[in-house]
Amino acid sequence: MPAAKPVQMPYGAYHRTDIPGHDAELTEIQPGSPMGEYMRRFWHPVCLSDQLADVPQAIRILGEDLVAFRDRSGRVGVLQRHCSHRGTSLEYGIIQPKGIRCCYHGWVYDIDGTILEMPAEPKNSRIYQTIYHGAYPAFERSGLVFAYMGEPEQRPEFPEYDSFTRPQGTKLVAFSNIYPCNFLQAFENVADHFHTAILHNGMTVESLDEATKKSITLGGFVGLPTVHWEAVRDGNGIMFVSCRRNPDNQTFWVRSIELSFPNFIQFGGLYASARRQRHSTVALSRWHVPVDNHNVILFGWRHFNDEVDPDGEGDENRCGYDSIDFLEGQTGGRSYEDGQRAPGDWEALSSQRSIAIHALENPGCSDTGVYMLRQLLREAVRGNTPADSTREGAKGGKDTLHVYTQDTVINVPKRLDGDDEELMMSYGLKILEIMKEANNMPGAQRDAHVRACLDKLDGGLLAGC
C-alpha cells in the first residue's frame, strides 16, 4: 500500500485529515482472508488450562466463536460455539464424562464433533450417520490449550523447541495478556527493539518518583542499542542482534531474539541481570493470537530457572489470565490516568488505532526490523517462501528446533579511538555465526560448544579484568 503524503508545513493538519485504509493482506484474519488462511496452518494457544473448569469456556479465536472445555475424562475439546441442532451456545452446555451436552435439547458432542446422543430423536436417526458438529483438534501443554484451525489434511506437527525444556529443571508457567488492537502491532513490537530503550527505561516517565519508575521499567534496557536484523528459517522468521555497552566500559551485552512466523516469539532475560549472562536462554515464549481483526491475546509461557533469572526477580504466582509478572500493570488493569503518566506496551500499541494505518507512517532507520518483518511475512502469506521447518516439529525426539534467542556478555573493553558500536556488532555477528554453525547439535552439547567458542572469542569473562 503506498504511503500517504506526509504533512510538509507547520500548522499543516488541514492537509492531512484523510485516513487511508489499513493493510488488509497483513492484518485481516477472518476465514478466507490471505493472512487468516496462512495463520490457520499453525497450532495456536486458544485459552489457559485454568480457564477450563466445571463449566465450558466461550472463546473467540481468528474471528470464530468457539467453546473450549475439558470433559470428565480429562480430554479437551474445542468446538464451534453454536449447537448444530438449532444454534444454542455450548457455553451453556453440560460437561459430560465424554463430551458436552447442549442444554436446550440435550444433543451430546464428542471432542471430535461426533454426535453421541440426541435424546428427543429416534435411536436410528440418520443424523447420527450424516452430521458432525464442527470441531478442531486440541491438546494441553504446560497450562496452555492449543488448537489447530486449518485444513485437516495440512495439520503440522507441534514445533518442539528445545528451549521448552532447557536448561534442565526449567518450569513453564502459562499466562495471557489481552490487547485491544490488531495482532500485528503486538507481534512487530518485538522487532522494534529501539522502543525498549525509550518506553521501558523510564525516559517517558520522568515525572515519577524512583520507586514507581523502577516498578514499570525493565532496568536492563538503559542506553540505545546498535541493532542488526536478518531473516531466519528460509524467510519464515526474523531475528535481531542488539549490542549495548555496560557501564563498566569493559564488557558489553549482546542480546538476540527470534520471531517465527506467523506469530511466535521467544525472548531472553527480562531483567538487568541479562546484561551479565553468558549465553543464557529463553525467558519467555509467546504467541500473538488474533481474537478478531481488532483484538489480540498474547498467550505464552514464562520460563523460570536460575539461568535467565539468577536474582530471582520473577514471580510465577503473578502469571495467569490477563496477567504476567514483569511489566505489571501495563496490560490494561490500570486507570486511564495512570496509563497516561506511565505508559507501557499496552498504551503504546492499543493507541496506534485498533488496526494501525501503515500508509500514514513515516519510518526511520530504527524501523528497519518492523519493515523487514512485514515484507517477509507478506511473502510467506503469498506462498512465496519455502516451507517452514518449524511446521514439521522435532520429529523422533530429535533435538533440532532451537532458537537464536540468547543473552551474552562479552569481555572486550570500549573502543576509545574509533567506533565502539561497530566493534560490539562485529562480535555480535560472530556470536550469530557460532550459533548457526552449532545449529544441528543437541541442546546441551550446543550450549557447551557455544560457550567454549565465546571463551575463544574474548578470552573468557575474567580476561583483562
Spell out a b/e string for 67-90, using b for 16 or more CB atoms within 10 Å of the CB, else e. bbbbbeeebbbbbbbbbbbeebbb
179: closest CA among 397, 331, 2?
331
Asked whether position 128 contacts ligand FES by CB under 6 A, the answer is: no
Asked whether position 104 contacts ligand FES by CB under 6 A, the answer is: yes
Asked whether position 86 contacts ligand FES by CB under 6 A, the answer is: yes
Indicate which single residue of 38, 42, 69, 107 sits in contact with ligand FES (rule: CB under 6 A).
Answer: 107
Site for Fe ion in 155-194 (CB under 5 A): none
Indicate which single residue of 88, 96, 212, 352 sits in contact with ligand FES (rule: CB under 6 A).
Answer: 88
Residue 105 interacts with, from ligand FES, Fe ion, none (CB under 5-8 Å by kind):
ligand FES
Specify whether the CB–CB gap between 144 and 174 falls below 8 A.
yes
Residue 20 is given by DSSP the state P
Asked whether position 345 contacts Fe ion by CB under 5 A, the answer is: yes
- Output the nine-digit C-alpha cell for 68: 473450549
Q: Give 40 or 82: the residue with its C-beta nearer to ligand FES.
A: 82
Half-sphere exposure of 190 (CA within 13 A, CB side): 31
Asked whether position 89 contacts ligand FES by CB under 6 A, the answer is: no
Whole-number Å distance between alpha carbons of 48 and 366: 35
Indicate which single residue of 40, 44, 85, 334 sits in contact with ligand FES (rule: CB under 6 A).
Answer: 85
Q: For CA atoms 89, 95, 98, 102, give the dihedral sign.
A: negative
Cα 203 versus chain centre, distance: 25
Whole-number Å distance between alpha carbons of 67 and 332: 25
Q: What number of chain residues touch ligand FES (CB under 6 A)?
A: 10
Residue 75 interacts with, from ligand FES, Fe ion, none (CB under 5-8 Å by kind):
none
Residue 42 is given by DSSP the state S
Indicate which single residue of 75, 98, 105, 391 sits in contact with ligand FES (rule: CB under 6 A).
Answer: 105
Q: Give 267 or 404: the residue with its C-beta nearer to Fe ion.
A: 267
Parallel, antiparallel or unpaired: strands 171-179 and 226-232: unpaired
Q: Give 108 or 319: the residue with its C-beta nearer to Fe ion.
A: 319
Residue 371 interacts with, from ligand FES, Fe ion, none (CB under 5-8 Å by kind):
none
Q: What share of the chain is helix, strand, coil (3-state, %, to 5)?
A: 30, 25, 45
Residue 155 interacts with, from ligand FES, Fe ion, none (CB under 5-8 Å by kind):
none
Which range, of 230-238, 274-282, 344-352, 398-406, touches Fe ion by CB under 5 A? 344-352
Residue 60 interacts with, from ligand FES, Fe ion, none (CB under 5-8 Å by kind):
none
Residue 26 interacts with, from Fe ion, ligand FES, none (CB under 5-8 Å by kind):
none
Cα 70 versus chain centre, distance: 25
Asked whether position 395 contacts ligand FES by CB under 6 A, the answer is: no
Specify whether the CB–CB gap between 328 and 315 falls below 8 A.
no
Residue 434 interacts with, from ligand FES, Fe ion, none (CB under 5-8 Å by kind):
none
Which stretches of the chain bind Fe ion, using CB under 5 A? 345
Contact residues toward ligand FES (CB under 6 A) are 83, 85-88, 102, 104-107
